[in-house]
Amino acid sequence: MWNNDLPMKTHFNLTDRRQFLQTGAFGLGPLALALLMRQDGLLAAPIKPELLQPSDLKHRPPHNPPTAKAMISLFMQGGPSQIDMFDPKPALNKLDGEKFPGTIKYDNAAQASSRVLGCPWKFAAHGECGTEVSELLPHTARVVDDICVIRSMHTGVNNHGQSIHALNSGRTQRGRPALGSWLTYGLGSESENLPAFVAMTDPGGIPVEGVLNWSNGWLPSLFQGTVIRPQEPRILNLEPPASRRGPVQQEYLRYLQTLNEQHRADYPENSELAARIANYELAARMQTAATEAMDISQETAATQALYGIDKKETEEYGKRCLIARRLIERGVRFVQVYTRNQFWDHHGSIRTALPAACLKTDQPAAALVTDLKQRGLLDSTVVHWGGEMGRLPVIQNDAGPAKVGRDHNTYGFTMWLAGGGFRRGGTYGATDEFGHHAIEDVVNHFDYHATLLHAFGLDPEQLVFHRNGRQETLLDGQPGKVVSGLLQS
Amino acid sequence: MRHLSARIVSPCLLLLLQMSALTAAEPSYEKDVRPILKAHCFHCHGEAGEKEGGLDLRLRRLLVAGGDSGPAVVPSNTDESLLLERVISGDMPPGEDKRLSPEDVDVLTRWIAAGAPTLEPEPEDVGEGPIFTREERNYWAFQPVQRPDVPHVSDARRARTAIDAFLLAKSAEHPGFAPEADRAMLLRRASFDLTGLPPTPDELATILSDTSDEWWELAIDRLLSSPHYGERWGRHWLDVAGYADSEGYTDEDRVRPHAWRYRDYVIRAFNNDKPFDQFIQEQLAGDEMVPPPSPNLTEEQIEKLTATGFLRMAPDGTASGGINQTEARNQVVADTLQIVGTSLLGLTVNCAQCHDHRYDPIPQSDYFRLRAIFEPAFDWKKWKTPPQRQLSLYTDADRKVARELEQQAVEVEKQRLAKVEEYITRTLEEELELVPEELRESLRTAYRTAAKERTEQQQALLKEYPSVASISPGSLYLYDRRRVERAGKLDAERKKKEVRFVDETRQAALAQVPDDLRSEVEQSLKIAAEKRSPEQQELLKQFPAVLVTLANLKEFNAEAAEELSRDRELANELRASQSAPDLKKFVDEAAAIRARKPEEGFLRAIHEVPGTIPTTQVFYRGDPEQPREEVLPGELTILANRPEIPANDESLPTSGRRLAFAKALTNGTHPLLARVLVNRFWMLHFGKGLVNSPGDFGVLGERPTHPQLLDWLASEFVDSGWSLKALHRQIMTSAAYRQSSVTTEDVRRVDPDNQLYSRFPLQRLESEVLRDAMLVVTGKFNPKPFGPPIPVMEDSVGQIVLGKENLDGERKPVDKVDLGGEEFRRSVYIQERRTRIYSMFETFDAPTVSPNCERRETSTVAPQSLFFMNSDLVLEFAMHFADRLQAEAPGSLESQIRLAWQLAYGDSPGEDEVQQARSLIEREQTLIHEHDSKLNETEVTRSALSVFCQALLSSNRFLYVE
């Protein structure tokens, strides 16, 4: 019998027991299933490789009826402070400046302090669902009835890179395919003229882990994310010069295809050569389609104002969110809109830096939900808002009120999801009374991915890539559960 | 609780037990269980004295003994084994992401069920230190290289060399090599492989007409002796070394202005086929091979010190502001060790920085033993930032010349200061002129009193006369303007005075005229001079003063004339003696003198300071703020029979640690170095390594596909005197290298992934090679070697292009700076700034060097197609290509097509291909004419030809080496 003074790192209290029950019960499912299936010889049964191993972007039906067809992920890189935005903790304000009464899992012990940092901002309940958000998010407050706020996110790896990989590619290690690659691998593209997987970077620089965030890993290179640059030209070399437009270019492309097909005839097994030929066709169509898709001057002034494009603070991010909507509208499968490198990493000066970060993103993010909804697109489009971590309830950098910040916290943080079959309104899960650890209905990255794939009609166990004699999946064999509490009933 | 967990766990265990009956041999602690526990549990239960809950998992008997909660394992009893319960429940290891996989749980279960067997008796006495199992000691990569016998294969299988024999002997299923590629294809392959450039038509003609038996060996030798060989293979080494022209680490990404000398050293070393043992020794310990740096570095010192640039390639943010110095310094050392580990040892030693390596037998203390080798040169407590540590290349003679010139310049500056003082005095006096006279003296005194010593009255006075108070060396130019204005005013006043004085003088003269004549005189004056009657003229002659003009004023009113003249001189003086241009002459002169100093070069090198050896301590959890036990330098413990690394070699001024390490590494007995090197060279020829994780020969890396061949190559390499060129010949003369890349359906079925080397793999050109190939093909190539890098800059749309940044005050680009042909030099000479990767390279997968690049990846995305279709760069290249064709094959379209084919593909086109190209060009001529009827025939022809050229440059046949 294990007892309470176990030689283990976590304390075995009531909450852990609840966690144990959940994860234990769910944890067994896939294991037992896998073993049973192996016994039955199911997994060893011959699999039609063309069904499981797509190497093109043709539209493919999912395993089950989906609720989502596309996704926009607003990736808040750096780790927004959940306790100052979405997860009110009155206990913190009571103890503001005093010694934290429990144990903190610090990341940077050098700058750590044990003094509690209360939330300097007021929370209020909004909408019919009554979800509480802080005054930093006036626009998000107006769409709470359309979003599901998860307060119990957990990755448990206290640094940016690993946690980003956990949420973007399933495991904490590098080198695996990104979520967008998996979705396009599984479902193909709805557009013949645009890349299926797009990453939109910030003018302030690419996120931590850079291009690995939209890497196809070991999936075929066709499923790699295409970067749309944060300033014009958003896609380099998108337009031919005047002298090459129209039939002049078409003739060139036709001849080029002849050359490439003749060359490829010697190497029928080489998928890279085929992908390169396909990419010329895509590129030719992109020239007009992408230019049109990114032309936000076609939008009304009202729509532009909705996204805050008329204001300096929100103009840049608003434009990208609006372009993301236009891309989804035109059949792009997955768009990820990044904030700049460590934008939310408020180790210091949180009192000024966090409001500034909210100012930039709050209105455009809320506008995206509103806009998709009024166009009837929200039902089939998942909108995700969140970073790779949240922040600790105690002070970091105790160098005066203006300088204080909060260190990383991946044990309990918040993100929200909207549309595509996710629950409308309300919160899910809970952290402890200080917002440090998720304790109720914990959602880890495996659960998150399992639930997302489910929404897209994809079975996490069946979306498989065969490689080196292994069957690779997004969850990598880890026990992740479809969290029904996040979905519309 | 107990009841509950048992209920959940038991059915599963039952299932697992049933499973175990179906599966292979029973697991052992050493082979199967320990690797799982080491990866997931040792960190808290066994490593470096950590025994949370009193539990140590490093031996089977310790598991059985258990910890505070009792036995972790009860042999043969899966239900009672708490270890199993905890891992299945997911409580252990803690953390959602750290669960054991079902496979691992299965292994543990079967092991316990089988009675928890070990392969051999466990050691009686274990300290806190690492325990290596026999499996770990016997791991292939740690065994000495044994030169294997070359296997015998039948003649029918077309083995040309030992390499072929090893490859064919690998599998009885080997379908044999593909037929030999034709000469043109081979030349293109070898040319890109060895020089990174396409073959020229002359080279093609030579190889096609060579009738000797050694035509291929001769061709290889020609390529190996090309100066471009070192640029190509040096570039490969620079990837591994993590070469960059900037410091990285922070957004500032400061430029490294002198890193290029190391790049040039590498290129020269490859061109000279510097034996690789020496090459590595110099890079690790060049400074310890020569006397300590003196004011006059010898050629040899310069070379050896430059070589240590290898250890200065890691990102280094320590010269940037706003960083945590301890962390930043520690990161430089850690990155340097990572570069050394992956490039030379083929191990991820960096993974043992914070804890024992999870998978490989590298305890954390070993990491710090390695670190101790380098720490005398990287003393993180007596750190010098990159600018502080650079070594000057000046000689004493240079210094003397420089000193003398400096003195001259200082002399000129002194003269300037004196002149400044003069101008200040002059300005002060001029300004005081404008001040009421009674205040002048006290204002002068106030001005001349040092600011701090001025009385309140003086301060108030100066405040009242800001134009006096503001006189300073920096504001003199403003008073120049005031002087010009004043001169203007003086002139204007003088003009008025001139009129007045003439008039007054005339009036005075008139007053002198007798009254009776006065009206006559006045009358005559009113008449224009040439209309006056002789009488009137006569009359006026008597009173010449009434005819006064400005020109003759002096005769009649000397005083007035004098005053005007003074005013004029004063105005001229005010205009002429401007301080600013005068002072600038001195500045220019001083600058001109300084410009004559000999140019001062610097080395970015390691030079260990003699006599200061820091202690190296293991950092608890890798945190430099928590240093623990001291360690001495040494190689990895798992490697048996390695030479000792002395803590301090008394025969050297420096500690000698790196030199001893470098010599030990290259003494021919190191199990890893030669294998790691030849594996990488093999990879660069064949696109994949015999160990396909070139930087990781450890447990998580891949196993060698052809272990015997790997060992044979390693021993050949060492026996040949570490000659890389000899190794190239070995590899490139094999049938495996000479075979075609095209194969048959049957072969593809037997060897779908080319694991057996049954054809030569198709390889895409790297980004740099693609650019260089375009330069050569289009005739723009500038072969100038060496020297400071070609700068990159951000263009107006944020692309990184070649060019010198020329920004105005608001950071807007102004005039383009002419690079004078530098823009057509080889890519290896382009500035490699970590945050500003040349856009074309970025599009084609330039590596990110953080800290180094073990293996390049290739991607295939639509922006690459757009680059070929629309980029200015490709369109310019296509135009150059067309111009070259017209110049070298004037008149005949067909010969232009043939030449283009040869240049781009290194081969002659077939008749069909000529025909297709011709019809493309003709159609394009029509279309281009329709598109823009203003173009004349020459322009249309050129443009259509350039479309054809663009198609060749965009084609896969150009982009890939077959």
Whether A156 and B95 lie within 8 Å, measured CB to CB = yes
Q: Convert the pLDDT of each residue in B5-61 to its tens digit.
A: 333 333 334 444 344 444 457 888 888 888 888 888 887 887 767 788 888 888 888
Quote the minimal CA–CA distance from A155 to chain B in Å: 7
Residue (of A11, A23, A29) closest to B90 by Cα position: A23
Q: DSSP string spanning A268-293?
A: TT-HHHHHHHHHHHHHHHHHHHHHHH
Nearest to A248 among B2, B625, B947 (CB): B947
What are B28's two structure tokens?
Answer: 């052992």
Please check the confidence at residue A44 and state whether its pLDDT lies above 70.
no
Determine contact, residues A325/A337, Cβ cutoff 8 Å.
no
Instruction: Give the strand pairing for A334-338 and A390-391.
Output: unpaired
Please check the confidence at residue B358 and state whether its pLDDT lies above 50.
yes
Residues of B in contact with A261 (CB under 8 A): none
B62-76, B309-323, B333-347, B388-402: least confidently modelled range: B62-76
Cis peptide before B851 (omega within 30 of 0): yes
What are B260's two structure tokens?
Answer: 């290029």
Best interface-test mutation with A: which of B17, B324, B865 has the largest number of A CBs within 10 A? B865
SS3 for B318-348, per residue?
Answer: CCCCCCCHHHHHHHHHHHHHHHHHHHHHCCC
Please check the confidence at residue A38 and state whether its pLDDT lies above 90.
no
ipTM score: 0.75
Fill in the amino acid letter for B645: I
| Interatomic CA distance for residues B156 and A192, integer angstroms | 51
Q: Convert the pLDDT of each residue in B823-840 to its tens digit.
A: 999 999 999 998 788 888
Structure confidence at residue A381 (pLDDT): 97
Structure confidence at residue A67 (pLDDT): 96
Whether B951 and A248 lie within 8 Å, measured CB to CB = no
- In this predicted model, which residue has the larger pLDDT, A168 or A237? A168
- In this predicted model, which residue has the larger pLDDT, B475 or B660? B660
Q: What average pLDDT does this structure show over A163-177? A: 90
Determine contact, residues A439/A152, Cβ cutoff 8 Å.
yes
Residue B73 domain boundaries: 2-120
B99-103, B344-348, B537-541, B599-603: least confidently modelled range: B99-103
Best interface-test mutation with A: which of B956, B958, B960 has the largest number of A CBs within 10 A? B956
| Interatomic CA distance for residues B103 and A92, integer angstroms | 43
Nearest to A235 among B91, B859, B866 (CB): B866
Looking up tokens 């494009």 gives A309
Q: Convert the pLDDT of each residue in B537-571 to its tens digit.
A: 888 888 888 888 888 889 888 999 999 999 999 89
- In this predicted model, which residue has the larger pLDDT, B72 or B681? B681
The answer to whether position B522 is within a domain reads: no
Residues of B in contact with A239 (CB under 8 A): 870
Contact pairs from chain A to chain B, CB under 8 Å: 247
The answer to whether position B739 is within a domain reads: no
Please check the confidence at residue B641 and state whether its pLDDT lies above 90.
no
Residues of A in contact with B916 (CB under 8 A): 255, 258
Nearest to A279 among B85, B762, B860 (CB): B860
Please check the confidence at residue A488 and state whether its pLDDT lies above 80.
yes
Quote the minimal CA–CA distance from A444 to chain B in Å: 7
Percent pLDDT > 90 in chain B is 54
What are B223's two structure tokens?
Answer: 């390529």
Structure-derived torsion over alpha carbons of residues A280, A283, A288, A289, reported in degrees to the nearest 10: 120
Please check the confidence at residue B762 and state whether its pLDDT lies above 90.
yes
Residue (of B959, B872, B948, B953) closest to B917 by Cα position: B948
Q: Convert the pLDDT of each residue in A96-110 to its tens digit.
A: 988 888 888 776 555
Please check the confidence at residue A287 and state whether its pLDDT lies above 70.
yes
Whether B848 and A252 lie within 8 Å, measured CB to CB = no
Structure confidence at residue B9 (pLDDT): 38
Which phi-psi region, left, alpha or beta, contains residue B176 (left: φ > 0; alpha: ψ -120 to 50)? left
Whether A256 and B955 lie within 8 Å, measured CB to CB = yes
Total number of residues shown for chain A? 489
What Å distances lie between residue B615 and B16, B26, B349, CA to CA? Answer: 52, 47, 20
Whether A243 and B932 lie within 8 Å, measured CB to CB = yes
Percent pLDDT > 90 in chain A is 58
Please check the confidence at residue A232 and state whether its pLDDT lies above 80.
no
Q: What average pLDDT does this structure show over B181-194? A: 96
Structure confidence at residue B431 (pLDDT): 85
Fill in the amino acid letter for A83: I
Task: Considering only CA atoms, give the Rg of chain A.
Answer: 23
Fill in the amino acid letter for B597: K
| Interatomic CA distance for residues B12 and B17, integer angstroms | 9
What are B78's two structure tokens?
Answer: 């899966």
Other beta carbons within 10 angstroms of residue A36's beta carbon come to 12
Nearest to A248 among B5, B931, B952 (CB): B931
Task: Considering only CA atoms, give the Rg of chain B.
Answer: 42
Determine contact, residues B777/B881, Cβ cutoff 8 Å.
yes
Chain A CB within 8 Å of residue B90 CB: yes
Structure confidence at residue A31 (pLDDT): 30
Whether B101 and A477 lie within 8 Å, measured CB to CB = yes
Quote the minimal CA–CA distance from A138 to chain B in Å: 32
Quote the minimal CA–CA distance from A141 to chain B in Å: 31
- H or E element at residue B427: helix B396-433
What are B860's two structure tokens?
Answer: 């295939």
Domain endpoint, select from B120, B147, B180: B120
Total number of residues shown for chain B? 962
Strand, coil or helix: what is B246? strand
Q: Convert the pLDDT of each residue in B226-279 to its tens digit.
A: 999 999 999 999 999 999 999 988 777 899 999 999 999 999 999 999 999 999
What Å distances lie between residue A183 and A70, A477, B685, CA to CA? Answer: 9, 18, 36
Whether B96 and A156 lie within 8 Å, measured CB to CB = yes
Q: DSSP string spanning A151-217?
A: EEEE----SHHHHHHHHHHSSSSSSSPPHHHHHHHHH--S-SSS-SEEEE-BTTBPPTTGGGGG--T
Determine contact, residues A431/A88, Cβ cutoff 8 Å.
no
- In this predicted model, which residue has the larger pLDDT, B73 or B14? B73
Please check the confidence at residue A3 and state whether its pLDDT lies above 70.
no
Please check the confidence at residue B176 and state whether its pLDDT lies above 50.
yes
Domain endpoint, select from B98, B120, B142: B120
The answer to whether position B895 is within a domain reads: yes
Other beta carbons within 10 angstroms of residue B228's beta carbon come to 22
Nearest to B748 among A38, A256, A269 (CB): A269
The answer to whether position B582 is within a domain reads: no
Structure confidence at residue A53 (pLDDT): 60
Which phi-psi region, left, alpha or beta, contains residue B667 (left: φ > 0; alpha: ψ -120 to 50)? alpha
Residue (of B425, B476, B475, B471) closest to B582 by Cα position: B476
Strand, coil or helix: what is B617? strand
Strand, coil or helix: what is B133? coil
Give the burial string for A276-315 (b: 16+ CB within 10 Å, else e): bbbbbebbbebbebbeebbebeebeeebbbbbbbeeeebb
Chain A CB within 8 Å of residue B457 CB: no
The answer to whether position B900 is within a domain reads: yes
Chain A CB within 8 Å of residue B557 CB: no
Structure confidence at residue A466 (pLDDT): 80
Quote the minimal CA–CA distance from B172 to chain A in Å: 21
Chain center to CA of B512: 94
Looking up tokens 């697991």 gives B27
Structure confidence at residue A108 (pLDDT): 58
| Interatomic CA distance for residues A418 and A362, integer angstroms | 15
| Interatomic CA distance for residues B628 and A12, integer angstroms | 31
- Computed from CA positions of residues B339, B341, B342, B344, in that sequence, does the dihedral angle turn out positive or negative? positive
Q: Convert the pLDDT of each residue in B808-823 to its tens digit.
A: 655 555 667 888 899 9
Chain center to CA of B598: 27
Other beta carbons within 10 angstroms of residue A389's beta carbon come to 35
Please check the confidence at residue B189 and state whether its pLDDT lies above 70.
yes
Q: Convert the pLDDT of each residue in B419-444 to its tens digit.
A: 999 999 988 988 888 888 998 999 99
Residue (of A139, A114, A113) closest to A126 by Cα position: A139
| Interatomic CA distance for residues B709 and B445, integer angstroms | 92
Nearest to A24 among B90, B916, B950 (CB): B90
User: Phi then psi for B122, rounded to 5 degrees?
Assistant: -85, 150
Determine contact, residues B692/B702, Cβ cutoff 8 Å.
yes
The answer to whether position B109 is within a domain reads: yes
- H or E element at residue A382: strand A381-386
Residues of B in contact with A216 (CB under 8 A): 859
Whether B90 and A23 lie within 8 Å, measured CB to CB = yes
Residues of B in contact with A36 (CB under 8 A): 15
Whether A238 and B924 lie within 8 Å, measured CB to CB = no
Q: Is A35 exposed, middle or buried (0-12, 13-18, 19+ CB in 10 A)?
A: middle
Determine contact, residues B757/B768, Cβ cutoff 8 Å.
no
Structure confidence at residue A170 (pLDDT): 93
Other beta carbons within 10 angstroms of residue B450's beta carbon come to 6
The answer to whether position B248 is within a domain reads: no
Other beta carbons within 10 angstroms of residue B134's beta carbon come to 11
Structure confidence at residue B101 (pLDDT): 81
Residues of B in contact with A441 (CB under 8 A): none
Chain A CB within 8 Å of residue B733 CB: no
Structure confidence at residue B64 (pLDDT): 85
Structure confidence at residue A112 (pLDDT): 63
Q: Convert the pLDDT of each residue in A100-148 to its tens digit.
A: 888 887 765 555 677 899 999 999 999 999 999 999 999 999 999 999 9
- Residue B180 DSSP one-character state: B
What are B576's two structure tokens?
Answer: 């002429």
Determine contact, residues B371/B618, Cβ cutoff 8 Å.
no
Q: DSSP string spanning B699-726?
A: TTSPPPSSHHHHHHHHHHHHHTTS-HHH
Find, in chain A, the residue whose alpha carbon is nearest to that of B836.
Answer: A205
Instruction: Give the strand pairing for A334-338 and A70-75.
Output: parallel
The answer to whether position B85 is within a domain reads: yes
Cis peptide before A233 (omega within 30 of 0): yes
Determine contact, residues B308/B606, Cβ cutoff 8 Å.
yes
| Interatomic CA distance for residues B863 and B840, integer angstroms | 10
- In this predicted model, which residue has the larger pLDDT, B45 or B946? B946
- In this predicted model, which residue has the larger pLDDT, A235 or A72? A72
What are A55's two structure tokens?
Answer: 């190497």
Residue (of A167, A142, A150) closest to A423 by Cα position: A150
- Residue B482 DSSP one-character state: H
User: Ranked by mean pLDDT, which of A90-94, A289-293, B841-845 comes out on top?
Assistant: A90-94
Other beta carbons within 10 angstroms of residue B254's beta carbon come to 18
Nearest to A172 among B97, B752, B957 (CB): B97
Quote the minimal CA–CA distance from B214 to chain A in Å: 29
Please check the confidence at residue B299 and state whether its pLDDT lies above 50.
yes
Find, in chain B, the residue whose alpha carbon is nearest to that of A468.
Answer: B753
Whether B861 and A247 lie within 8 Å, measured CB to CB = no
Chain A CB within 8 Å of residue B98 CB: yes
Q: What average pLDDT does this structure show over B155-184? A: 90
State chain B's mean pLDDT as an integer: 88
| Interatomic CA distance for residues B682 and B704, integer angstroms | 12
Q: Which residues contact B660 (CB under 8 A, 6 or more apart)?
A: B643, B644, B645, B646, B649
Determine contact, residues B504/B560, Cβ cutoff 8 Å.
yes
Instruction: Give the strand pairing for A470-472 and A465-467.
Output: antiparallel
What is the total count of domains within chain B? 2
Domain endpoint, select from B66, B87, B120: B120
Chain A CB within 8 Å of residue B948 CB: yes
Find, in chain A, the residue whose alpha carbon is nearest to that of B4.
Answer: A21
Cis peptide before A62 (omega within 30 of 0): no
Whether A279 and B870 lie within 8 Å, measured CB to CB = no
A191: confidence class by pLDDT, cuts 50, 70, 90: confident
Best interface-test mutation with A: which of B869, B915, B916, B924 has the largest number of A CBs within 10 A? B869
